[in-house]
Amino acid sequence: MALPKLNESIKYEMEIPSTGNIVTYRPYLVKEEKILLQAFEAQDQKLAMRAMVDTVIACVFEPVKSSELSTFDVEYMFTQIRSKSVGETAELKGKCTAEECDAQTDFTINLTEVQVTKSDASKIIELSDNISVELRYPTYDGFVENYKEGISETQFGMQMMEDCIVAVMTPDERIDVSEVPRSEVRDFIDGMTNKQFQLIGEFLNTAPKMTKDVEFICSECGHENKITLEGLQDFF
């Protein structure tokens, strides 16, 4: 007689921030937690990032492609899955913002209350009178693929910018950059003026972020602190 399967009926719902689509998911199980722990213990950032997105894909019941998820999608979805797997609260430390006080104070946050900021920035950027680009926010796959230990911030930023250009448009055509050599995309960026380059950088700076406003009273001086947590690194 076969053993019964555990936790088959446990399902929750969440929204994918970039699309607004509602998906159902389950907590991660021991088999996924083992992979996560091994990745974190290896202190390999790239391995840990890959384990995180693999966990998200495994726990969501609907078909989801990692190549279509943004960085903030994966961070938010992983946080929600973790909240149902380990616990809905996280214990953190906050540094006092009062002058002449740098004490650390313990506080607790509810992970289910985490939000993702929304952006209404246009994804079409006009670079000149007859050339525009269509952009997207960085994908998680692109982030993982481009990340390398020791890579400079400038080099990483340039590689991510190449990934974020979806198409180049003129009055006569729309050129999908996935259909042209990567070297041409690089040459296209290299041929921009500083102002044109900054327009794309400004768009990328509007990328939604996982955030939560937190208030805590310093355990040393009694100062009432108000801070905003941003991004996965602030929550765990």
- 147: exposed, middle or buried (Cβ count in 10 Å: 0-12, 13-18, 19+): middle
CA distances to 63, 147, 151, 235 from 155, rounded to whole Å, are: 33, 10, 7, 27
pLDDT in tens, 148-191: 777 788 888 888 889 999 999 999 999 999 999 999 999 999 99
Domain segments of the chain as ranges: 9-87, 124-204
Comparing CA positions, the residue from 134, 140, 20, 26 lying closest to residue 72 is 140
pLDDT in tens, 4-57: 666 666 899 999 999 999 999 999 988 898 988 888 888 788 888 899 999 999
Looking at CATH, the fold of the domain delimited by 9-87 is given as: rbstp2171 (3.30.2220)
Single pTM value for the model: 0.87
* pLDDT computed for residue 231 by the predictor: 86
